[in-house]
Structure 1
Amino acid sequence: MPDVFFAADWTPEPWMFLVLALVAIGTGFIDSIAGGGGLVMMPALLASGMPPHLALGTNKIQSVFGTSMACRTYWKGGLVDVRRNLPLVALVFVMAASGAFLVQLISAEVLTYIVPVFLILLALYVIFSPAMTDMEKTEQLGRKGYAPVAGGIGFYDGFFGPGTGQFFTASLVGLRGHGLTRAAANAKLFNATTNWAAVFAFALGGKIIWALGLTMAAGAMFGAYLGSHFAMKHGARVIRPLMIVASLGLTASLVWRWFA
């Protein structure tokens, strides 16, 4: 098998394909509803022994297919406004690609310290964010005012990524006045964009295990299809609790890792 299909310095064990594909079904389901699927997948990839840079890149492969499937489902349900958001889509693509190129210049040892800090900040943000419902509210920022926020989240997704969907969802509720279900749907438009940008950058850097990533992608797409339909049916009453549970679980796991 050519190195471009696996990696010159690391090759997955056969059992990883099945196990991580099954994990991807769950993460795709969670990510399509509340965001944060990477909070499960990234620790799973790192636990498999995959180096951090390869884990970040390979995670993007499964994530981009999952978020794209969720975005398509929400769009068919009439919840995604692609045309009005095109300028923001272009911005987050550029910022995500920039973040993905930058993270490849940082040593794996440094990443092991940076990653937990990002994750804990994310968990605190979601837990203490304002109440989220499906009721539309007065927007605090227009599309131009929201651009720096979207660009910053896009950069974060390229640089690291887990929880990006939660950041987009929470900011669209709090700053753009979207109801929670509509915010989750449009978050998938932005998240799919940032994921495609990151895949482009990591692929150029040779930081993707393609065989494993594409296998995981099949699971992520199936989970995202189920999850997005579930979210449209049940709305905010299921989205908000899932966001909180994912964040609390993340914080607990990080505290355990640091002090164990």
Structure 2
Amino acid sequence: MLSLSFLCVIAFFAGLVDAAVGGGGLIQIPGLFSALPNVAPATVFGTNKLASAVGTLSAARSYLRRVRLPWRLVLPTTVAAFVFSFVGAQVVSLIPKGVIRPTVLVLLVIMAAYTLWKKDFGKLHKPVEIGRREMAIGLAIGCAIGFYDGLFGPGTGSFLMFLFIRFFAFDFLHASAAAKVVNLTTNVAALLSFAIGGHVLLAYALPMAAANMAGAMVGTRLAMKKGAGFVRVLFLLLTSVLICKLGWDLLQG
């Protein structure tokens, strides 16, 4: 009972952070490993995905009530991400994590440096006109990020936000909303893969999902109230945490 209460508190804060800027898994997954030390890693990840998917659904719905997105771009990106997330989850055992971590670390450093260097990056919402080129870029983003999320995962929301700003001139608020829609489908695809293997503890996942959803509602309201500048600061903080975590993991071997 104590471990479930602890996990629900963790899930609430994970949902809050994830709704605003992504990265809730950085809070929720270590919490699950700490509270359930004897549970197989695949079951930890599956339980996390169910709670995260419900929170992301809540955040996406809240954003979409207030933010207009170019569905001609977002929808194909979302479909591609769903398909390739499922593929990534299926081949996860074939690719060594030692190859992925250094690459992701370098990309995160570049992304953070670029955001810091361009002071107005993501502050103004001046979306480009959506043509064939933009749709092709969106499909490529969906395929690449979907595959990455199914395969490895950390930083998926941050990568999506950065790419929506860089290639389509979204501000951080609209980029966060678009990232939630895409990330929801990658979560569902990975969850399907875990559920097929029986790797979801419903007794923990369902209460955590409710707590994650409550946190997501608070996080979305904070982001909407404070605006793109607030989300930009959170984005840089989260990216810095990701860089430190991956760097530490590499040093530890």
TM-score range, shorter chain: 0.7 to 0.9
User: Take 1:139 and 1:128, find their aligned partners in 2: how far apart are those partners?
Assistant: 27
Give the counterpart letter for 1:127 in structure 2: A
- Is the CA contact (8 Å cut-off) linking 2:47 and 2:204 kept in structure 1? yes
Match of 2:112 in 1: 127
1:157-205: CA deviation from partner (whole Å, max 9, x where unpaired) = 1122232111111100001111221111111110111111111111012
Q: Residues 129 and 221 of structure 1: is their aligned pair in 2 closer, same or farther, counting only changes over 3 Å?
A: farther
Identical-pair percentage: 32
**TM-score w.r.t. structure 1 length?**
0.83
Tell me the residue number matched to 1:68. 57
Q: Go from structure 1 to structure 2 and tell me whether the alpha carbon gap of 1:207 and 1:19 turns closer, same or farther (over 3 Å shift).
A: same
Distance of aligned partners of 1:218 and 1:117 in 2 relative to their CA distance in 1, 3 Å threshold: farther
Residue in 2 that maps onto 1:77: 66
Aligned counterparts, 1:35-184, within 5 A: 35-48=22-35, 49=37, 50-82=39-71, 85-103=74-92, 105=93, 113=98, 117=102, 120-121=105-106, 123-130=108-115, 131-136=121-126, 138=128, 142-184=134-176
Query: What is the identity, as a one-letter code, of the residue corresponding to 1:215?
Result: P
RMSD, matched Cα: 2.6
Q: Relative to structure 1, is the Cα distance of residues 255 and 85 closer, same or farther in structure 2, using a 3 angstrom cutoff?
A: closer
User: Contact between 1:122 and 1:247, CA under 8 Å: does it hold in 2?
Assistant: no
Alignment-derived partner of residue 28 in structure 1: 15
1:162 is paired with a residue of what secondary structure? coil
More helix by share: 2
Q: Alpha carbons of 1:51 and 1:166: their partners in 2 closer, same or farther (altered >3 Å)?
A: same
Find the residue that maps to 2:168 and give its secondary structure: coil
Cα distance 1:64–1:158, how it changes in 2: closer, same or farther (>3 A)?
A: same
Unaligned runs of 5+ in 2: 116-120
- Distance in 2 of aligned mates of 1:256 and 1:193: 30
Q: TM-score, normalised by structure 2?
A: 0.85
Please give the alpha-carbon distance, in whole angstroms, between the structure 2 residues aligned to 1:28 and 1:121: 27
Q: 5+ residue gaps in structure 1? A: 1-13
Q: Distance in 2 between matches of 1:28 and 1:19?
A: 14
Is the Cα–Cα contact under 8 Å of residues 98 and 158 in structure 1 kept in the other structure?
yes
Distance in 1 (alpha carbons) for counterparts of 2:78 and 2:107: 22
Q: State whether residues 11 and 28 of structure 2, in contact with CA within 8 Å, keep that contact through their aligned partners in structure 1.
A: yes
Structure 1: which 4+ aligned runs deviate by more than 6 Å? none
1:223 aligns with 2:211: no
Any idea what SS the aligned residue of 2:204 has? helix
Q: Which residue in the other structure is 1:195 paired with?
A: 187
SS, match of residue 114 in structure 2: coil
Distance 1:122 1:242, change over 3 A: farther
The answer to whether the 8 Å contact 2:122/2:170 transfers is no
Contact 1:29 1:226 in 2 (8 A): yes
Report the residue type matching 2:220 in the other structure. Answer: S
Give the count of matched residue pairs. 243
Give the Cα–Cα distance (whole angstroms) in 2 for the partners of residues 22 and 117 of structure 1.
32
